[in-house]
A and B are shown apart, each in its own frame.
Chain A
Amino acid sequence: MAMTWSDLAKKQPAAMRILMNGIRNNRLAHAYLFSGGRGVGKREAASHLARAFFCRARDGIEPCGACPDCKRIDSGNHPDVVVIQPDGRSIKKPQIASLIKAFSYKGVETSKKLFIIEQADLLTSQAANSLLKFIEEPQGNTLCILITEHSQKILATILSRCQVLHFKPLSKELLVHHLLENGVSRVMAKTVSAVTSDAEEATTLSKDEWFANSRSIVLHFMEDLLTRPNHAIITMYEKCALHFNDSDKMKMMLRLMLIWFRDVMALHIGQNDNVVYVDRMESLTEAAEKMTAEQAACALSLLMEAQRRLQSNGNPLSVLEYVSLKLQEGAGVYA
């Protein structure tokens, strides 16, 4: 299915409105900087803008997606579109020099030319400086698109020569929707989007075996805490301690546990739609019956306390032990 401006506008309404108006009124700026986190649609927007810029069978502002121009932009074979990517860890001066040389020529097919610089924050200062004059006074019908995740690292003099479009992080619903479209199961999509709001990271996590195991280990542990608290400590040492064996991994465990108690809380206040662990509805309902909303709130603050300890270099295992024992105690009370 061909992408349309309205598809993109669902994710980035503000930024896309500016581009759509630019095309509609034929008043595109000569240089844009797309700034925003990973996976928020910067690159899609850039290639869609490229298609709209070149497409000769454009329907209003919408490129056709089927003509040779559109197709070749997709396959990277369009002779008048140049994409610059970092060569190793930076974008070096020779790359920009060759870009400028290529653009001192007239277009191959039409007078239109377009270049995209990806990860523009990686421009070396020499490269950025040689680009300055070129962005400032492009010759002919040239459009520049710079893409970056770190707009604060872009040279101020370049920034001032571009129209900056901010791409916002995706909302939770959109992220879930996005993941579902990419073939991620509903259960996993919900979990992942509760952990991160970064689309790219979310996609990686949802395919990560370690993360899938983490999820089931944590859920197993929580159910043990609920149904057989005495056994939970054994589960903790046998499974959790081995699986979450360093500080970063432990952080993930605490996040996953937090979600559990948030779900319990959601059930208490009747927001069943907000439950993340939808596949464990039965256990969650049981937990909600056993513990009051106040108790769940206590558990949440306990976990946040544990996160702070971990942050200030607490030993991961002892943080886990602390949390587990406290929760087990609590479980005893609930019973």
Chain B
Amino acid sequence: MADAIHSMAVEEGLAMKVIVAKDKLVACTNDVMRAVSSKTTISILTGIKITATSGGLTLTGSDSDITIQAFIPTEENGIENIQIIKPGSIVLQARYFADIVKKLPDDTVTIEVDSRLMTRIQSGHSEFNLNGMDADEYPRLPVLREENTLSIRKDLLKQIIRQTVYAVSTSENRPILTGANWVFENKTLKCVATDSHRLARRTVTMDVEENHTITNLVIPGKSLNELGKILDDRDQDVVEMIATDNQVLFKTDHIQFYSRLLEGKYPETEGLIPNDVKTEVVLKTKDLLQAIDRASLLARDERNNLVKLKTVDQSSLEILSQSPEVGRVYENVPANKISGEELRISFSAKYMMDALNRIDSEELIIQFTGAMKPFILKPVDDPDLLMLILPVRTN
């Protein structure tokens, strides 16, 4: 009798109770932990939000710029992951929670929250009692309409990120340039990043006619890099993308990755890309990359990390670099084809290598429009990628 009364009292004060497989919980906690920052000024964001619904368990972590949500379904491939005894929601200190679940002894974990937000985490003979925080305090994620999704292959998405985000600005002088501009129109997704000294543009053809939510977004470079890291081979091949006014969501089976968007209008970039080619060079990507890499050795300490390039006899390029204190380097790179005017040009070796490192094609085309004008790098077999670098003025 006494027991029955006791258990009733406990049931009454219960705000949430789940029993969950430990390995799933650990994996999801690790995923969402990537978004949690210790430097946040908003105290609730030091926590992980745990929400139990009849469908499963959702974990959320956020630093307000990016938010990662991981979902554990109650049942997956006929295996029961979770037993939801009472649906509910709680926020727990991320740092402690992540370490605790990692080290729990048993294969299953019971998480139980009472009405005073006191949370009991129990596994095997071990029991932790943590002070929880009110889940109502946690930032609300935007409500997204599922019909406006844009599906994109995961490897393609990762490639887009790799080939464009390197060019975003790291300076806060023009915050809008710290993001990449994604524009979707006429069945093509165009992704552009620039720091006003160089530019990378990647276009992708989509099968979808139109999408109302994704028309013109500026996604922070930092978020895209983080997204690139979190997209591993564990999930299926397609990522779904949905945008609202303030946030964009990338969604896979298990993970939802939200990023805040940048405020403001992205500058028009099409006008920057020249089309009056004066000199065109076709050569092996690897040859040029290695030559520039060697040439930059001496210029490493210089402010601009400068190398000079010169066309020789319509057959090869001469790469030159010097430092008054250290010495000079000279190298001849054979070209497959050189057409047009003779040319001498100087540019940053770092910018050149950043671009070349991201061109997967064996051969590339470089189009020059003059010694003082930007030049274009393009893979021979891929018209969808374009990189642009501004030269450096020398005497």
Contact = CB atoms under 8 A, between A and B. Distances in A.
Interface of A: 68, 71-72, 75-79, 82-83, 97, 100-111, 139-140
Contacts of B137: 68, 71-72, 75, 77
B136 interface: yes
Contacts of B140: 68, 109
Contacts of B12: none
B136 A71 contact: yes
B219 to A, nearest CB: 10
B264 A76 contact: no
A264 B206 CA distance: 91
B43 interface: yes
Contacts of A102: 64
Contact of A101 (B41, B175, B264): B175
Nearest to A67: B136
A117 to B, nearest CB: 13
B246 A68 contact: no
Contacts of A108: 64, 139, 246-247, 260
Nearest to A76: B43
B272 interface: no
B172 interface: yes
Contacts of B246: 106-111
Nearest to B140: A109
B340 interface: no
Contacts of A75: 44, 137
Contacts of A72: 44, 136-137
Interface string B48-59: 000000000000
A97 B175 CA distance: 11
B172 A101 contact: yes
Interface centre among A75, A78, A103 (most CB of B within 10 A): A75
Given A72-B137, A77-B137, A139-B263, A104 B42 contact: no
Contacts of A76: 42-43
Contact of A68 (B136, B220, B247, B261): B136
Contact of B260 (A77, A97, A106, A139): A106
17 contacts: A68-B137, A68-B140, A72-B136, A72-B137, A75-B44, A76-B43, A79-B64, A100-B172, A104-B175, A105-B65, A106-B245, A106-B246, A106-B261, A106-B263, A109-B139, A109-B246, A111-B246
Contacts of B245: 106, 111
A104 B176 contact: yes
A103 B136 contact: no
Given A77-B43, A77-B44, A106 B262 contact: yes
Interface centre among A82, A103, A139 (most CB of B within 10 A): A139
B127 to A, nearest CB: 29
B105 interface: no
Interface string B248-269: 0000000000001111100000
B42 A79 contact: yes
B344 to A, nearest CB: 40
Contacts of B142: 109
Given A97-B172, A109-B246, 14 more contacts: A75-B44, A76-B42, A77-B43, A79-B64, A79-B139, A83-B41, A101-B172, A101-B175, A104-B175, A105-B65, A105-B263, A106-B247, A108-B139, A108-B260
Contacts of A82: 41
A140 B263 contact: yes
Interface in B115-139: 136-139
A105 B43 contact: no
Nearest to A68: B136
A209 B44 CA distance: 38
A105 to B, nearest CB: 4
A77 B64 CA distance: 11
Interface centre among B43, B44, B246, B262 (most CB of A within 10 A): B246
Nearest to A79: B139
A110 B140 CA distance: 10
Interface centre among A102, A106, A111 (most CB of B within 10 A): A106
A222 to B, nearest CB: 51
Interface in B163-212: 172, 175-176, 178
Nearest to B137: A77
Contacts of B264: 104, 139
When A and B form their complex, which 9 residue pairs have the shortest distance between CB atoms, in order from nearest?
A: A104-B175, A77-B44, A79-B139, A106-B246, A77-B137, A105-B260, A139-B263, A106-B261, A79-B64
Contacts of B220: 105
